[in-house]
């Protein structure tokens, strides 16, 4: 593996670890569901997004449990940190007029979802969406499948009309 690729993976791993350390220090009395033991998930997911984009994918929809969710939101989906911290403090952030993020409904901060469209240097774009997590974890798979099917149906219907 080339040195620059190793450095990129290490940097992504470091960001995930330091984000968890920061949350632990700043919000030590709040439940966080950190990455403990799963830190390699973040560089793996980011690498997967890069590969998907290179191969022509333009959207990824993710459903996941609480463990590591905040790190996924911050490091992979790129939900703005100020929004995550505002949610931790119980405030509702003001939505960006450019639709930079979309806070979906959720009953607690680690259930909230978002989406972000990243522009790559190659000119390609990838929209990554992590869905709001229902309170019962066994419900997330049908939620993701329903969202994907609805978007696919809408896209196919739109293509037929045009």
The parent domain of residue 50 ranges over 3-161
What CATH number is attached to the domain comprising 51?
A: 3.40.50.970
Q: Which residue has the tokens 């333009």?
A: 58
DSSP string, 113-134: -EEEEEEPTTS-EEEEEEPPPP
Instruction: Please report the pLDDT score of residue 72 as a whole number.
Output: 85
Alpha carbon distance 4, 158 (integer Å): 42
Q: Could you list the pLDDT tens digit for every one of the 162 residues in the chain?
A: 899 989 999 999 998 888 888 888 887 776 666 777 778 888 899 889 889 999 999 899 988 877 778 888 888 888 888 877 877 777 765 555 454 444 444 445 556 677 888 888 788 999 998 887 766 666 778 888 888 898 888 777 766 776
Query: How many domains, the chain?
Result: 1
SS3 of 38-70: the string is: CCCHHHHHHHHHHHHHHCCCCEEEECCCCCCHH
Residue 116 sits at φ, ψ, to 5 deg, of -155, 135
Q: In the structure encoding, which two tokens stand for residue 28, read together?
A: 């030590």
Q: Give Cβ neighbours of residue 70 (< 8 Å, ≥ 6 apart).
A: 19, 23, 32, 33, 34, 84, 110
d(CA 162, CA 13): 44
């Amino acid at each position: 593996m080339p040195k620059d690729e190793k450095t990129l993976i290490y940097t992504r791993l470091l960001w995930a670890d330091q984000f968890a350390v920061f949350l632990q220090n700043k919000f030590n009395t709040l439940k966080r569901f950190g990455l403990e033991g799963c830190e390699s998930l973040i560089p793996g997911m980011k690498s997967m997004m890069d590969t998907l984009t290179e191969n022509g994918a333009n959207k990824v929809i993710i459903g996941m449990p609480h463990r590591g969710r905040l790190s996924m939101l911050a490091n992979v989906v790129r939900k703005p940190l100020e929004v995550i911290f505002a949610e931790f403090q119980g405030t509702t952030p003001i939505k960006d007029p450019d639709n930079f993020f979309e806070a979906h409904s959720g009953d607690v901060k680690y259930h909230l979802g978002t989406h972000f469209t990243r522009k790559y240097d190659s000119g390609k774009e990838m929209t990554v969406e992590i869905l709001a997590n229902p309170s019962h974890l066994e419900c997330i798979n049908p939620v993701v499948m329903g969202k994907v099917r609805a978007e696919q149906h809408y896209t196919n219907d739109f293509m037929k009309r045009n």
